[in-house]
């Protein structure tokens, strides 16, 4: 697996500390967030994917299994300890060759080539410059690609989520559907 590289559009502000991640990224989470179900129909064999705010890889590693040998998942986080967790999980499953690790900074693009799918799960509310990150995600997504934005309803009000979705549409994303995801507010966008 490649060593973490610096990326763009995410600045460390109030982020979930690495030591707190196990409170919600644990085996009990599968009772309400099964990655294979959340990603079903969104990630296909051969896809190039971006998991921004990946944490320790709860969605990254299952996404790497779905993209197959010809696909690639770029996992981006602002905390090196999170990316170390992704690397450990990927190695246990033998999927490290399908995952690129990227340490987020404000310089440079998130990915070198356009991606087919972007996931931002329970992380956008932690980003001080949401519009900047959304512009980076728009630039990273190929035309016709999909972007799933999911925020926790306990931390993000309906009004705040609507404002984030409006920022995304102002940048150029189009709403496809608002999927039902447990404990969450969600919208699936496309880049026309």
Q: Confidence band (pLDDT; 50, 70, 90) for 3?
A: very low
Which residues share a beta bridge with 141? 115
Q: Tell me the CB-side half-sphere exposure of residue 3, using CA atoms within 13 A.
A: 0
Query: Structural domain boundaries of the chain?
Result: 5-11+23-190
The yes-or-no verdict on residue 13 having pLDDT over 80 is no
The secondary structure element, H or E, covering residue 163 is helix 158-171
**Would you place residue 155 in the very low, low, confident or very high pLDDT band (cuts 50, 70, 90)?**
confident
Q: pLDDT tens-digit profile of 98-119? A: 999 999 976 778 898 999 999 9
How far is it, in rounded angstroms, from Cα 168 to Cα 179? 16
Residue 12 has pLDDT above 60, yes or no: no
Please, which residues have CB within 8 angstroms of residue 125's CB and are 6 or more apart in sequence?
151, 152, 155, 156, 160, 164
Full-model pTM: 0.88
pLDDT at residue 26, as a whole number: 62
Q: Is the pLDDT of residue 80 over 70?
A: yes
Residue labelled with tokens 């196990």: 22
Name the CA dihedral angle for 107, 113, 114, 115, rounded to a multiple of 10 degrees. -100
Tell me the average pLDDT of the chain: 89
Q: Which DSSP symbol is given to 187?
A: E
Q: Residue 44: is its pLDDT beyond 50?
A: yes
pLDDT for position 8: 41
Classify domain 5-11+23-190 by CATH architecture.
3-Layer(aba) Sandwich (3.40)
SS3 at position 155 = coil
């Amino acid at each position: 697996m490649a060593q973490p590289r610096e990326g763009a559009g995410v600045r460390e502000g109030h982020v979930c500390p690495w030591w707190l991640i196990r409170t919600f990224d644990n085996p009990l989470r599968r009772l309400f967030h099964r990655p294979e179900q959340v990603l079903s129909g969104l990630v296909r064999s051969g896809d190039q994917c971006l998991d921004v705010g990946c944490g320790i890889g709860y969605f990254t590693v299952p996404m790497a299994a779905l993209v197959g040998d010809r696909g690639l998942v770029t996992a981006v986080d602002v905390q090196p300890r999170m990316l170390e967790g992704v690397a450990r999980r990927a190695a246990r499953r033998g999927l490290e060759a399908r995952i690129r690790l990227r340490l987020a900074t404000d310089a440079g693009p998130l990915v070198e080539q356009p991606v087919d799918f972007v996931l931002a799960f329970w992380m956008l509310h932690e980003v001080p410059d949401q519009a900047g990150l959304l512009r980076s995600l728009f630039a990273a997504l190929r035309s016709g690609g999909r972007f799933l934005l999911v925020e926790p309803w306990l931390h993000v009000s309906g009004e705040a989520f609507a404002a984030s979705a409006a920022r995304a549409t102002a940048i150029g994303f189009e709403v496809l559907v608002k999927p039902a995801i447990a404990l969450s507010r969600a919208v699936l966008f496309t880049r026309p």
